[in-house]
Amino acid sequence: MSIQAKLKDRTAAIGVVGLGYVGLPLLLAYARAGYRAVGIDIDASKPEHLLRGESYIKHIPGAEVAAALASGLLEATTDFSIIAGLDAIILCVPTPLDEHFEPDLSYVTDTVDSVVPHLREGQVLSLESTTYPGTTDEEVVTRVEKAGFKVGPQVHVVYSPEREDPGNPKFSATNIPKVVGGVTPECLAAGVALYEAAFDKVVPVSSCKVAELTKLLENIYRAVNIGLVNELKIAADKMDIDIWEVIRAASTKPFGFTPFYPGPGLGGHCIPIDPFYLTWKAREYGVHTRFIELAGEVNRAMPDYVIHRSMEALNSRGKPVKGSRVLLLGLAYKANVDDMRESPTFALLDGFKRLGAEVSYYDPHVPVVGPTREHMAWAGTASVEWTEELLRAQDCVVISTHHAAFNLTELATWSDLIVDTRNAMATVPTPEGLVVKA
C-alpha cells in the first residue's frame, strides 16, 4: 500500500525526530489527527516525560500530552531502530551557527546518519530544520542514496520548513500554512499527503531549494526590518525622540508600512541565525549579501548599546557600573514563553558581569538556566525571587523581556532606576527620571 493510501485511511505511522519547540507540537498534532505518532530524541528525559503524560515545554499543556498518551497513539523513545516500522520520518533538529557564524549542520548530518540504517522502501523522509538552499540535496539525498535507495521511486525525500511561533495564541502547529518541496514529483506528492494529514493548508513548491529559501526569506525579512528599527532607535535617542511614539504614529498609515519594534537584540533559534545561512551559501556563488550582514551587525550590537545606556543612567546617579547591583527582567527571548534560545539577555548578563556589576535575573518562566551551547557558564543559575526587599536593593533594573507576569506597578514603586528596552513601562505611572529607554 502506498504512503498516500496509508495516510488517507490513517494506518500510517509518523515519526518525529527531535522533540523540542518544533518537534513536540508536530508530534501531538499527528496524534490528534488519529495517527500513530512516535517521538524520537537522544535526550532520554523527553521521552520519559511524554510517557508519563507530562509536558516539558511551558506553553504546551501537560493535558495535551496526557490525552495523546491515553489515546494509545503517542509513543516516545531514544531507539532509532523503531524507524523501520514507520511510514514517515520528520526531522526537527537544531541548525545553529559555529563560533565563526558559519552553519553547523552536525545535528542534521548526525541525525540522518542515525536514521538511514533503518530506512525501507516506501517511506517519506522530511527535513524541517532551517538551513541554506541545497542542504536537502547535498546532505540528505546523498546519504539516502549512498545507503542504496533510489530517491523518488523508493524513498521520498522532502523539505518543509517549520514555522512555529512559541506562545502565539492565534497560530498553532497546524493552522499555519505548510510549505513543502520535494526532490522529485513523486516525493512532492508524498510530502503533500503527509502534511495534508495534519495541517489546514499545504503550499507545494517546485523544489526543496525553493522551500529552503522561503524560510530564510521569511526570517531575513524580519531580521532586516528589526535591524532598521534598532538603528533608528539609536538615532532617535540621540535626537531626544521617542522611537515608540514614532512607530505608533507611522502605524496609522493604512498601507505601505508594517510596524517592527526595537529591543535589546535578537533572540530565538531562527531570526538571529537564519540570515547567516544565506550569506554563507551566497558566498559560494560569489554574492556578498551586504544588506543582510549589516542588519546582523546592528542587531548583534544592541546588547552593548543597552549596557552603555545603563552605564550612563547609573553615572547620572553618581554610581559606577562596577559594583552596582543590576537585575535583568526576562531571560526568555520573547514574552510569555520559557524559550531562552539565543536570548540577548545572555549577552547582557555577560556584559554587565564583565564590567564588574553584581548581575542577576528574574524570569518566572525560566526558574533555572538550563544547558546552552553558547552560555554554559550560566547553566544552573537560578532566577531571584520577586520581593520588595530585593528590588529596593538593586541599583538598576533592566527590562529585557516584557512578560505579562511582571508586576510593573510594584516595579515602579520599589525601583530606583529602570532601563526599559521594550517600552513596557509606557502605561505605568512613574516619577520623572525613573525610567530610561534603551
DSSP states along 121-171: TT-EEEE-S---TTHIIIIIIHHHHHTTPPBTTTBEEEE------TT-SS-
How many other CB atoms are found less than 10 A from the CB of residue 108?
Answer: 23
Q: Are 69 and 53 contacting, i.e. CB atoms less than 8 angstroms apart?
A: yes
Reduced to 3 states (helix: H, G, I; strand: E, B; else coil), residue 379 is: coil
Say which amino acid occupies 218.
E
Phi, psi (5° rounding) for residue 156?
A: -95, 120
Q: Which three cell numbers stand for residue 73?
A: 497513539
Residue written as grid cell 535617542: 237
CA 344 → CA 278, 284, 400, distances in Å?
22, 30, 8
Cell of 87: 511510514
Are 65 and 28 in contact by the 8 Å Cβ rule? The answer is yes
DSSP one-letter string for 68-107? HHHTT-EEEES-GGGGGG-SEEEE-----B-TTS-B--HH
Q: Is 92 a catalytic residue?
A: no
Can you tell me which residue has the cell 533503518?
118
CA 143 to chain centre: 27
Are the CB atoms for 20 and 166 separated by under 8 Å?
no
Q: Please give the full DSSP string across 186-203, using - where no structure is assigned.
A: HHHHHHHHHHHTT-S-EE
Contacts of 431 (CB under 8 A, 6+ apart): none
Catalytic residue among 92, 187, 208, 270: 270
177/180 Cα distance (integer angstroms): 10
Please count the other Cβ atoms lying within 10 Å of the Cβ belonging to residue 334: 19
Separation of CA 414 from chain center: 33
- Residues acting as catalytic residues: 270
